[in-house]
Amino acid sequence: MKLGATGWARGVRKIASPNCDTRPHGTAIGLLVLHNISLPPGEFGGSAVAQLFTNTLDTEAHPYYAQLKGLRVSAHFLIRRNSEIIQFVPCSKRAWHAGVSSWQGCPGCNDFSIGVELEGSDHVPFDDRQYTALVRLTRLLQRAYPIRAIVGHADIAPGRKTDPGPCFDWPRYLATL
């Protein structure tokens, strides 16, 4: 896996999301934000997450999806439970993953972060293969960008978000970096 000059990773599946825009001029990428996602909640596999990130989710296909109608979100990467990495937004662009957020007094974390979604939930342990893929991806991103911190969504949006959740093994992940 390599990162190209445009911010697309080679060696991973690419599904381009329209839910991104240009980062503010001169903004360095210094933050990696980890999330969890599953659609419907607690169900893994399928194409619903990719459909959400590409604005093609049928919001009538499941009762939970009704609340997602009109939502425009994305992340740079998704790591599936089987370790497949899918990239939706080039790292050079701003993905819409953090929402209202702040890190160390700097608001608008989408401006200076890369968002990685792990297929999972707050209530189910992540797969060993996901940790392996996440470490590999993190090392790639750390070589390419001056990442100063790795945080969870809960850290930049406390009280609003809980992910990657209590089942994410931070000591394990950080020790392998």
Rounded Cα distance, 133 and 28, in Å: 24
Whole-number pLDDT of residue 95: 98
Give the total number of structural domains in the chain: 1
The tokens of 67 are what? 């609340």
Catalytic residue among 43, 60, 84, 117: 117
> What CATH number does the domain containing 134 carry?
3.40.80.10
Which residue range forms the structural domain that includes residue 147? Answer: 2-176
Instruction: List the chain pLDDT tens, one digit each, 177 residues.
Output: 999 999 999 999 999 999 999 999 999 999 999 999 999 999 999 999 999 999 999 999 999 999 999 999 999 999 999 999 999 999 999 999 999 999 999 999 999 999 999 999 999 999 999 999 999 999 999 999 999 999 999 999 999 999 999 999 999 999 999
HEC secondary structure over the chain: CEECCCCCEECCEECCCCCEEECCCCCCCCEEEEEEECCCCCCCCCCHHHHHHCCCCCCCCCHHHHHHCCCCCCCCEEECCCCCEEECCCCCEEECCCCCCEECCEECHHHHEEEEEEECECCECCCHHHHHHHHHHHHHHHHHCCCCEEEEHHHHCCCCCCCCCCCCCHHHHHHHC
For the question of residue 117 being annotated catalytic, the response is yes
Flag whether the pTM goes above 0.95.
Answer: yes
The tokens of 52 are what? 């959400």
Whole-number pLDDT of residue 88: 98
